[in-house]
Structure 1
Amino acid sequence: MLTNSERVKVLSEALPYIQQFSSRIIVIKYGGAAMKNQKLKDQVMSDLVFLSFIGLRPILVHGGGPEINSWLDRLKILPKFDNGVRITDQPTMDIVEMVLVGRVNKDLVATINKQGGKSVGLSGKDGLIITPRPSGQANLGFVGEVQNVDTKLLKILISNNYIPVIASVAADKEGQSYNINADTVAGEVAAALNAEKLILLTDTPGILRNSLDPTTLISHLNIQQARDLTQTEVISGGMIPKVNCCIRSLAQGVASAHILDGRINHALLLEILTDQGIGSMLVV
């Protein structure tokens, strides 16, 4: 239990961050264990509602790999991957869209609304928010990249205090759907909106000097330091695309990018509203 003085300290510590980030956009990519655990899911959505009520403008972007795999298994479709990227033929694309847009997205919206927020579920198709292009790797099927982000609908929603929840699916001018990496969508949305922060919720504490030792967390680094750590393979494996996503968003005007552990209770509040934070923060 906190003493009264400790409670006051916590509240006082948050005040300058609330003042600094009021009316600023933060884009959160949501996935991993925080999505699979119902208690953690409730806490993340509660944090989003809290942030919206104190004046920030959160936007949530999500994938849903484990649930996609579960439905593919039910339908006797074998998941296939190439270097960690889902090979998405048309039958798989149909399942991806059904799961992400029809199930995961609406479940998140319902959870936010249950917590007292106002949320609207979207995919990249809605309002032509995301215009995709093929990844350029024919063997991957309908895996896409972000060609353009149209921010008009998102601006209307956040200016009216709605929390947009975006599934990482989009369609080209011919109506063909594409499966896009949710980190990529979050980074490009953040850049298009000149967001204050891009936050990637992961299943690791952040960027570690020793991947096996959580105490080696690098809490603050700039773009050049991130590139150097990638060249020396301190940043490796699945962390490379996440760091590259952060670098791209920073280069396009996002003020800061964060990689943090979504398994920690109230990770968003601890990272945004406290002096020390809990993850890795990247800046220009």
Structure 2
Amino acid sequence: MNNIIVVKCGGSILAELTNEFFESIKELQNKGNKIVIVHGGGPEIEQMLTSLSIKSEFVNGLRKTTSEVLDTVEMILAGSVNKKLVSMLTSNKLKAIGLSGVDGELLKATPINADTLGHVGEVKEVNTELIKNLLNLDYIPVIAPIGAQESGQKLNINADTAAASIASALKAKHLLFVTDVSGILKNGNLLEEVSEKTVQELMLDGTIYGGMIPKVKAALSAMSDGLNEIMIVSGKTSFVTFEGSLAGTKLIKELEVV
């Protein structure tokens, strides 16, 4: 099954997804593709931790996750955010089913560094059979990035790396990072294809700045997970062209010399 497209939606874009985004998902399905969605939920997690007066800090870009923080992260990711996204897909006439990585041992994980990060994990194994069975039933699996160790201990997994691991395990055709812009812009113009080396240069010269930096870094790190190309697309407009191709910025390991 090499017609799988993994779509990663960050927590900050979920509230801004438009009808055009969901129409694009339908268009991909109409062309014979199977869709898997992995989502984050940072803003809602932050809001809930603040309201509960639970202190949280980031270490090297990852949220240090104590047992108390983990309970909140799971409540938001596997609970409210996951079901909200499933509801949005359903209301747009798309069959969707919400899961966390704990369900059916979907994401087996191990701690990255328990001393410095607590219950933060990385994916070691993906239950691709479960995902493919759902895809064969024409469901869109909507996955919250909570994994579990063999012992049953749950682990908080970065949504970007979870999406990359799932795409790699499924041998997906594409991994799409959904953002609030149409891709990487230079002087107002969309860059349709950039190499890893060019991305580094664009970050240095300030073309890539602000909120696009972590998105691009996540895409670059995903490419090291066995994926040769990744797309950055918009969740606010249609990202499928009339010809059926993807509209956005394609990141590739290296541009071919013609």
TM-score scaled to structure 1, two decimals?
0.77
User: C-alpha distance in 1, partners of 2:160/2:242?
Assistant: 18
Equivalenced residue count is 250
- Does the aligned pair in 2 maintain the 1:101–1:167 contact within 8 Å? yes
Structure 2: give runs of 5+ residues left out of the alignment: 254-258
- Does the aligned pair in 1 maintain the 2:65–2:117 contact within 8 Å? yes
Q: How does 1:267-278 map to 2 (within 5 A)?
A: 267=239, 269-270=240-241, 273-274=244-245, 277-278=246-247
Q: How does 1:196-215 map to 2 (within 5 A)?
A: 196-208=173-185, 213-215=187-189
Query: How far does residue 174 in structure 1 lie from its aligned partner after superposition?
Result: 1.1
Give 1:266's match in structure 2, choosing from 204, 216, 238.
238
Give 1:242's match in structure 2, choosing from 196, 218, 224.
218
Name whichever of 138-147 and 148-157 sits farther off.
Answer: 138-147
* Matched-pair identity in %: 35
1:30 aligns with 2:12: no
User: C-alpha distance in 1, partners of 2:242/2:109?
Assistant: 31
4+ residue stretches of structure 1 with deviation over 4 A?
A: 223-237
Query: How far does residue 260 in structure 1 lie from its aligned partner after superposition?
Result: 2.6
1:143 aligns with 2:137: no
Larger radius of gyration: 1
Query: How far does residue 28 in structure 1 lie from its aligned partner after superposition?
Result: 0.4
1:173 aligns with 2:150: yes
1:280 aligns with 2:249: yes
Query: How far does residue 123 in structure 1 lie from its aligned partner after superposition?
Result: 1.1
Structure 1: give runs of 5+ residues left out of the alignment: 1-21
| Post-superposition CA distance 1:183-204 (Å, at most 9, x none) | 1111111111111100011245
RMSD: 2.8
Q: Which position in structure 1 is the counterpart of 2:129?
A: 152
1:55 aligns with 2:55: no
- Does the aligned pair in 2 maintain the 1:49–1:112 contact within 8 Å? no
TM-score scaled to structure 2, two decimals?
0.84
- Does the aligned pair in 2 maintain the 1:223–1:247 contact within 8 Å? no
**Structure 1 pair 232–92 and aligned structure 2 pair: CA distance change class (3 A):** same
- Does the aligned pair in 1 maintain the 2:34–2:140 contact within 8 Å? yes
| Post-superposition CA distance 1:225-257 (Å, at most 9, x none) | 5567678887674245313233224xx2x4631
Structure richer in helix, relative to its length: 1
**Structure 1 pair 42–73 and aligned structure 2 pair: CA distance change class (3 A):** farther
User: C-alpha distance in 2, partners of 1:23/1:247?
Assistant: 18
**Structure 1 pair 41–66 and aligned structure 2 pair: CA distance change class (3 A):** farther
- Does the aligned pair in 1 maintain the 2:11–2:44 contact within 8 Å? no
